[in-house]
Every structure is written in structure tokens, then in C-alpha cells.
Amino acid sequence: MANKQLPTSTLGDYEGSLGGKYPFRLAINFQNDKAELTGIYYYLSQQKPIRLWGFRAQDGEIWLREMNPERPDTVAAGWGQGGKPIQSFAYFRLRPTPQGGLAGSWQAAKANRRLSAQLLPYQLKQPVQKAHVSEQTYFGEFTAPQFTVADMKVTQDLYWLFDIETLSEQGLELLEEEHRNHAGGSYQGYGGIDSRVTHNNQGLLSVALRDEYTAANVNSRFWSVVVDLRTGETLGPDEIDPAHKVAFLAACNAKLQQQIAAYLAPTAPDSEEQDSVDVAGLQAQHIGPDNPPDDMLIEDGQITFNHFVQYDDMSNFMRKIYDQQFRISFTYAEMTRFLKPTSPLRRLL
């Protein structure tokens, strides 16, 4: 007999408790034609997102298990109806209720502990203002920031935006191998991610990120992620109104030229270290339609954009010196005339 399709009404957001004591929110956000399900949940006391995978049995019962963040593809052998009740992971067994909720049980990992689970449909009551900030550690070494909000869809979006594979651009197997190498005494390879929340209010989240890789030299990478916490969408220079883009680029270029002049001034620190190639290269920098700024960040009452310095014969050493050296800063008031009328960044004003 073919698996029945999960009723559309069961996909969605829920809020409830375990054993009447531990409040949590849960979302079932995807189903395929094999009745497999994915979702996410978090306890209100901890605010750490936990991925879920499962299925709907032929009799309509919903099974959802916690996924190991280090090994999400682990097969759950012997799990399900007729299987062993105690598994290496925690899991839910739920059924839809006449009230549109879910009811059943939660089974602890590696223990004979079971709690009742009662959930009702959950709806966001007011616009999101801030995200809860936490951190996930992988293989005892590498970390990635984690964020949750009251909107479960946005929480899911944030999970994937800041997933360690997304940020590091490396798979979990490679990261585990890097960890083994480091544990064996090697100092080379991937050094991990540093993150810093630079703004978390008005429904906007801004995070500055840095990672490094060590081979013959240490090479660092800097970038930022800005998110609208009310939609889960990332924000960047596209928030500039096309009608005002020429004026915005001109303002950016004017600020860049001021920075370069100050940097090359004889009284500036390290000015004596600039040779003729580097001076000429910096003086040739410009911002325009063919070379717009990128990497937007919100910090200290300003919105900043990065200008990436590039010129012929620039050494790798100078490339590192210039990285993030020339960020173009605008106060919120200055940005007003450049933003789209509907830009989420207008909440800052």
C-alpha cells in the first residue's frame, strides 16, 4: 500500500511542551512524494536550533528524529514502527489532533526516558526585533554562529545561511579530516571561523565573519552577512534605489578618495612603507558602475561597504594590508536618499 500524502495542514509551525514542563517550537517545513519530512525545533530555554528528519507512516503517525549536526546523513537503521524504542538520537512520535495540533511523545537518546508532547499551531504575534545568538561547535574545534527568532521559517533560513559548510565552503568530512590533522600536531590547513554580531535590532541582523587557511602563508578571508529577520532574506548593495545609484556611487568614490589621500599623507602611520608601485596603485582606485563597492555591514550607527583594492604588480603582502582597509561608511541619515522606498534598511532611520 502506498504511503498517504501528509495533509497540507500538518506542514507548518507549532508551539508546545514536553511533559508539560519544557516549552519548545517546532516546524515541519517540507515533504516529498515518499512521505519523508524535514523540520527544525528549539527549546525556548536554550534557543539552539535542532534539525529534524522523518517520515509519515502508513497509519498517519509522524516520526521525526534529531539529526547529528556533525553527521546529518547517518542512516537511522531499525528506527520506526516495530523498531527498537531506544536509539542513539532523540525522536518524536506524533499524530495530528482535531484542534489542528500534534500530540504524542518524545523519546530521549540512548535512554529509557519518554515525555508526552503536546503542540498547537503557532503564529507569530508581533514583528521580529532581535535574534537569539548562540554557537555550534563541530568536532570539538570549529565553530559557527547560530540564530533563532520567533518566526520558524526565518529560523530555518538562518540555520542554512550560517551553516558551517556554507560559511567554510568545505564539507563536514573535510572539516573532520582537518581536525584530525590538527589533533596530530599539524598547524596547517583550515583554521576555522570567527564571527562577530555587529547589529541585532529593528528586525535586522548584521554579522562580520573571518576565516583563515594556513599553507606556506596564512591567508584570511573577510566577509559580512546582513539579514532581514522578518523575511529571512539577505541584504546588500541591491538595497540602493536604481534611480539613485549614480549618486550613490559618486558619494562612495568621493569618500574613497578622501580615505586614500589620508592614508598616503606623509603624517599618516606607515606612510613611509608605501613604494611607488603601491602609491600609484592606490591613487588609481575608483568606485563607479564598473567597480561598485560590495560586502555591506551595519555597525556603530553606520552602514559600510567594502572597496576591494586591486592593481597590477600588487604583492600578496600588500593585498593583505589593504583587505578591509578601505570601507566606505555612511550614517543612517546619509543613506536615506539612496535607499529603495521599501528597503528594510529604512528601519534604521
∠ CA(126), CA(127), CA(130), 5° rounding? 115
What percentage of residues in the chain have a pLDDT greater than 70?
Answer: 96
Beta carbons within 8 Å of 236's beta carbon, 6+ residues apart: 226, 294, 295, 296
Q: Which amino acid is at 284?
A: A
* Alpha-carbon gap, residue 203 to 144, rounded angstroms: 21
Q: How many CB atoms lie within 10 A of CB 117?
A: 22
Q: Rounded to a whole number, what is the distance in angstroms from the first to the last CA of the chain? A: 59
Give tens-digit pLDDT for 121-172: 999 999 999 999 999 999 999 999 999 999 999 999 999 999 999 999 999 9
Can you read off the three cell numbers belonging to residue 309? 583594492
> What does the alpha-carbon distance between residue 256 and residue 260 come to, in Å, rounded to a whole number?
6
Give the CATH class of 8-121.
mainly beta
Q: How confident is the model at residue 271 (pLDDT cuts 50, 70, 90)?
A: low
pLDDT at 272: 58
Give residue 276's Cα distance to chain centre.
Answer: 42
Model pLDDT, residue 268: 60
pLDDT per position as a tens digit, 59-80: 889 999 999 999 988 777 778 8
Mean pLDDT (the chain, rounded):
92
Sheet holding 327-331, edge to edge: 294-299, 302-306, 327-331
Quick one: DSSP state of residue 255? H
**Residue 37 three-state SS:** strand
pTM for the model: 0.91
Chosen CATH of 132-233 out of 1.10.1060, 1.10.3470, 3.30.565, 3.30.2130: 3.30.565
Provide the sign of the torsion angle of the four alpha carbons 106, 107, 109, 113, taken in this order: positive
Q: How far apart are CA 281 and CA 285, in angstroms?
A: 7
